[in-house]
Protein backbone atom coordinates (compact mmCIF):
# COMPACT_ATOMS: atom_id res chain seq x y z
CA UNK A 1 0.00 0.00 0.00
CA UNK A 2 1.40 3.37 -1.02
CA UNK A 3 0.90 5.66 2.00
CA UNK A 4 1.07 9.28 0.81
CA UNK A 5 -0.14 11.32 3.81
CA UNK A 6 -0.69 10.79 7.52
CA UNK A 7 -2.28 13.17 9.99
CA UNK A 8 -1.07 12.30 13.50
CA UNK A 9 -1.83 13.40 17.05
CA UNK A 10 1.53 13.37 18.84
CA UNK A 11 2.39 14.49 22.39
CA UNK A 12 5.86 15.29 23.67
CA UNK A 13 7.38 16.50 26.91
CA UNK A 14 7.82 20.26 27.23
CA UNK A 15 11.63 20.03 27.24
CA UNK A 16 12.58 17.05 25.06
CA UNK A 17 12.43 16.36 22.23
CA UNK A 18 12.24 19.83 20.78
CA UNK A 19 10.21 20.27 17.59
CA UNK A 20 13.30 20.22 15.37
CA UNK A 21 14.46 16.89 16.83
CA UNK A 22 11.01 15.40 16.34
CA UNK A 23 10.81 16.69 12.75
CA UNK A 24 14.31 15.40 11.92
CA UNK A 25 13.48 11.94 13.28
CA UNK A 26 10.34 11.74 11.15
CA UNK A 27 11.98 13.19 8.05
CA UNK A 28 14.66 10.48 8.16
CA UNK A 29 12.06 7.71 7.67
CA UNK A 30 11.86 6.01 4.26
CA UNK A 31 9.26 7.59 2.01
CA UNK A 32 8.86 10.80 4.02
CA UNK A 33 9.26 13.91 1.87
CA UNK A 34 7.70 16.59 4.12
CA UNK A 35 6.75 17.04 7.77
CA UNK A 36 4.57 19.77 9.28
CA UNK A 37 4.30 20.03 13.08
CA UNK A 38 1.81 22.43 14.67
CA UNK A 39 1.55 22.93 18.43
CA UNK A 40 -2.09 22.61 19.44
CA UNK A 41 -1.86 22.85 23.22
CA UNK A 42 0.64 23.18 26.05
CA UNK A 43 0.28 22.27 29.69
CA UNK A 44 2.76 22.01 32.57
CA UNK A 45 4.39 18.78 31.37
CA UNK A 46 3.37 18.11 27.76
CA UNK A 47 3.00 19.72 24.37
CA UNK A 48 0.24 18.47 22.08
CA UNK A 49 0.97 18.60 18.37
CA UNK A 50 -0.79 17.93 15.11
CA UNK A 51 1.61 16.39 12.60
CA UNK A 52 1.14 16.03 8.86
CA UNK A 53 3.57 13.77 7.01
CA UNK A 54 3.59 13.49 3.21
CA UNK A 55 5.64 11.43 0.83
CA UNK A 56 5.59 8.39 -1.40
CA UNK A 57 5.55 4.94 0.18
CA UNK A 58 5.86 6.14 3.78
CA UNK A 59 7.03 3.36 6.10
CA UNK A 60 4.36 3.81 8.78
CA UNK A 61 5.86 1.40 11.33
CA UNK A 62 9.30 3.03 10.99
CA UNK A 63 7.65 6.44 11.43
CA UNK A 64 5.99 5.33 14.67
CA UNK A 65 9.29 3.92 15.93
CA UNK A 66 11.09 7.19 15.07
CA UNK A 67 8.51 9.20 17.03
CA UNK A 68 8.87 6.93 20.06
CA UNK A 69 12.68 6.75 19.79
CA UNK A 70 13.01 10.53 20.39
CA UNK A 71 10.67 10.35 23.38
CA UNK A 72 7.33 11.49 21.93
CA UNK A 73 4.08 9.51 21.97
CA UNK A 74 1.69 8.81 19.11
CA UNK A 75 -1.89 9.18 20.37
CA UNK A 76 -3.74 8.53 17.13
CA UNK A 77 -3.63 8.40 13.36
CA UNK A 78 -6.38 10.82 12.33
CA UNK A 79 -6.06 10.76 8.53
CA UNK A 80 -4.57 8.33 6.02
CA UNK A 81 -4.20 8.99 2.30
CA UNK A 82 -3.06 6.10 0.09
CA UNK A 83 -2.78 5.47 -3.63
CA UNK A 84 -1.16 6.99 -6.68
CA UNK A 85 -2.07 10.56 -5.75
CA UNK A 86 -3.17 12.63 -2.77
CA UNK A 87 -6.90 13.15 -2.45
CA UNK A 88 -7.83 16.32 -0.56
CA UNK A 89 -10.58 15.97 2.01
CA UNK A 90 -13.94 17.24 0.87
CA UNK A 91 -16.25 18.47 3.62
CA UNK A 92 -19.51 16.59 3.68
CA UNK A 93 -22.53 18.86 3.27
CA UNK A 94 -25.80 17.62 4.67
CA UNK A 95 -29.07 19.04 3.46
CA UNK A 96 -32.01 19.69 5.73
CA UNK A 97 -34.69 17.00 5.78
CA UNK A 98 -37.36 19.10 7.48
CA UNK A 99 -40.44 20.23 5.65
Q: Are 57 and 3 in contact (CB under 8 A)?
A: yes
Which residue, 9, 3, 1, is CA-closest to 87?
A: 3
> Is a pLDDT exceeding 90 seen at residue 97?
no
Domain ranges of the chain: 3-82
61 in the Ramachandran plot: left (φ > 0), alpha (ψ -120 to 50) or beta?
Answer: alpha
Check residue 87 and give its pLDDT: 85
pLDDT of residue 35: 98
Tell me the pLDDT tens digit for each residue of 50-88. 999 999 999 999 999 999 999 999 999 999 999 998 888
pLDDT tens figures, 19-39: 999 999 999 999 999 999 999
- Superfamily of segment(s) 3-82: MTH889-like domain (3.30.70.1340)
Confidence of residue 99 (pLDDT cuts 50, 70, 90): low
Residue 95, SS3? coil
pLDDT band (50, 70, 90) for residue 46: very high
DSSP state letters, 2-23: -EEEEEEEEEEESSSS-HHHHH
Amino acid sequence: MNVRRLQLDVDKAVQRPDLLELAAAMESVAGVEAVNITVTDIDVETVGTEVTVEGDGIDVQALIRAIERVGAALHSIDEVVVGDRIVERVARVRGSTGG
